[in-house]
Structure 1
Amino acid sequence: MKGNTRISALAAGVMLATNAMAADDNAEPTRQYLAPMMHYLILDEDRDLSRNGLGGGLIYGRQLSDRVWWETEGAGYGLDSGVEGASDYYQYAVSTGLAYAFGDREGFTPFVLAQIGGIYNDVVPDDDDTFDLHANVGLGVVTGPIFDNGLKLRFEGRYMYDDFDGISGTPSDGDGGFNDIRLSFGLEIPLGVTRTVEVEKIVYETREVEKVVEKVVAEADSDGDGIPDSRDKCPNTLAGGKVDGDGCLLKNQTISFNNIGFELNSAKITASSRPTLDKLAESLQSQTDFNVEIAGHTDSTGSAEYNETLSDKRANSVREYLINKGVAEDRLTSRGYGEVDPVASNETASGRAMNRRVEFRVSE
C-alpha cells in the first residue's frame, strides 16, 4: 500500500510537470493522446522466475514540436514465479521522457523513445518489497487513423532496466538490477475535437435623411461573387472565381480548393466533399463558355513518383464525379502534379495541408 501511494504521487507530479513544460497560451491547440497498452515481458534470466510476464498500462502523450513528444506512462505487471501454487510477483511503474517521431504522425510513423521513473516491486517475502529506479528505451510505430475519430494502432518494443536488488537468499540477491524486454500493442486515442462553425451574417446599412433613419438591406448575392442577383447574368458562379461586371467567370484563371478531400492514400472522395462538388457541378452547367483542367497537388510526404501518381488519380476522380453529375465530358481534363508546385512550406503541418489541394484551371 505504501509503494502504491508513492507511485500515485510520482504520477501526479510527472503529469503536472508535463503540462507546465508544454503549455503555451499563444500557440495552436496542442496535439495530445491517451494510449492504453497490453504488455508481454521477456524476463531477465537472473530473476530466477518463469521467463514471461504480462501487464497493461496507460500512456499520456503531448506534442512539444513537429517531431518531439513528451510521454508519461503508468503500468502494472504480473511476473510468473514458475512454481505451481506459489504467489506470483507484481510490479507497478511510472516513467516519463521524450519520444522522437520520424514523421508528422498523420500517417504510418516510426519513433524512438527514452524514459526514466520509479518502480515498486511487490515480491515474496514482503520484507523485500522496494521502490526502485526504473528506466527504459525502445522503438515502435504508430499507424495513421483507422477510423474517422482518429483512432490509431501502436506497436513497440522496449529494453527495461529495474534497479531491484533481488530477493533475499536467491542467486540474484544483491546483483544490482535486472534487464527485461517488453513487447507491447495498443491504441492511440486523440484528445480534443476541433469543429468549424459557419455563421451567415446579414449586413444592414443606415443613412440619415432629414432626421429620418432608414434601414437599407444589402441586395442579395446568392453566389457570393460580388454582383447582386438583380444584375448577375451568370448565377451559381464557381466559388472563389473572379468575375466580370455581369457576374460571369473570367477566363485564364486558377481557382484553388482545399475542401475537396480524399481517403488516406486513396483517390476515393470523402463523403464530406460531395456537397462542394455538387455545387461545382451546378456552376459548370450554369455557365458553359469555358473549359477546366482539374489539377491535383500533394505535399512532399512520400516519394515524388508516388505523389504524382496519387494526385493524377485524385484529379481524375473529381473529373469523373462532375461528369456523372451532368457536366459535359469534353469540357473537363485532369492531371496530377504531385509535389512539384507547393504554395506553402512542407516543413509544417499547416503548410502541408495547404499543398494538398485541387485546382480548377479555367481556359477558353
Structure 2
Amino acid sequence: MTAPFDVAVIGPGPAGCACAIELARAGWRVALLGPLIDDDCRSGEVIGPNVRRYLPAEKALNGIPIRFVASEWADQGLEMRDLQLETGRAAVTAARPALDQYLLAEACGAGIRHIAAKVLWCSRDDATWRIHLAGIAAPLAARFVVEATGRGGRSPAVDGAKRHYLDRLVVLWRLVAAEGADDNTLHLAASADGWWYRVPNGHGRDFLALVTDADLVPAGTRTGFFEMCAARTEFTADITTPLTPVRITDARTSLRLPQSAPGWIPIGDAAFSLDPLSGDGVSRALVDGIEIARFLTSGSAPDGPTWDLRDVAADRMRRLMRQLSARFDYYAAVTRWPESVFWSRRRSAADLYKRGDKAIIFQDPRRATALSIDGGI
C-alpha cells in the first residue's frame, strides 16, 4: 500500500478539481482519482456570473458569453434580464470537456497526483481509507475521502449512502441551427408539457432542450414527442433545422443521505443535484469544492483530524431547502395549464412542502411523500 495521502478526491469533474486545487495550494497531499468523462449532454450548461472569477476568460475555454435571459414563464408574457447590468458581468456557457481539461491541468499544476483509474471500492480502519483502483494491485491510502462522483451510481466508499429522488425529470435535447450568429441570450419558456431551454452552443448551433417527466414521454416516440411539444411553443422554427438526433438524459432532483460519515463527505452533484431550472450546476460544484477544502484545511475544524462535518452538512441542507423553496415559488407562477399532469405534480409537491416540517418532497410513480431530513445529515 502506498504512503497515505491527506485527501483522496474521487471524481475529476468541476467539484473534485476545485476541491483538489484548494487543498493542494494549502500544502496538502492530494490524490485525484478517476477518468475524465466526455458527455455531450453537458454542452447546454451555463456558468453564472457569481463564479466567473474562479475561471479564465471565456475565450480560453471556448465558452460563449450569455448576457441576456429571455423568459416566457409566468402569465405576464416575455421578460428580459440583463445579467451584465444586474451583476457586472455576463454568464458563460460551460464548454465541456474543455472546462474539465482546464481544471484538471490546474490541479496537476498545483501538485496533486491524478490517477485516471476507476475506483472499485473503499474500506476504512484505523482512521485510514484504503481505496482499490481498477488495474492497480496496491490500494491507495488516504486520511479523508471527498466524493465528487456526480449524479449517478452508488458510493464506492459508504455502502449506506442512498440517493433519494424528488421528481422524475428528464431532458430531451438536440442541437439545432442557431437563430443568429451573435446571439448571447438564454431562452426559457414554460409549456403544457414541461419547460424549454435554448442556449447558444457555438459554430452556428444552439442547444435546444425540453425538460419533462420521464413517464410523460411515450415509449418509442422520443423524437415525435419532442417535435410535437415544440410545435406548441415559440420554438416551432427550431425543429425544422435539426443537426443531431433527439437524445435523453437524467435530470432528476436528488439528495444523498447521509450527507457525511467519518472521514467522508460528498460534494457537488454527488451530495445533491438540482433540476436544470436552477441553472447553477457547474457554479455550485466549484463553490462547494472550494468551501469543503477550506473547511478541511482551516483551524476551525471542531475535532482536528476527525473532522466533525455534521454542522457543514446541516448548513448544506439549509441551503438546499432554500433553493427548493425558491423553485416551488417559481413553478407556482405557472398557472396557464390547470389540467397539465406535469404542472399539477409541481403544485402538489409545493403544497406538501409548505405543510411539511423540515421535510423534502420525494415523488415516485405512485405518490408524493414527505421525508424528514432530521438525523439524516
TM-score normalised according to structure 2 size: 0.21
**Which structure would you say has the larger RCO, counting Cα contacts within 8 Å and 6 or more residues apart?**
2
Bigger share in strand: 1
Structure number with bigger Rg: 1
Bigger share in helix: 2
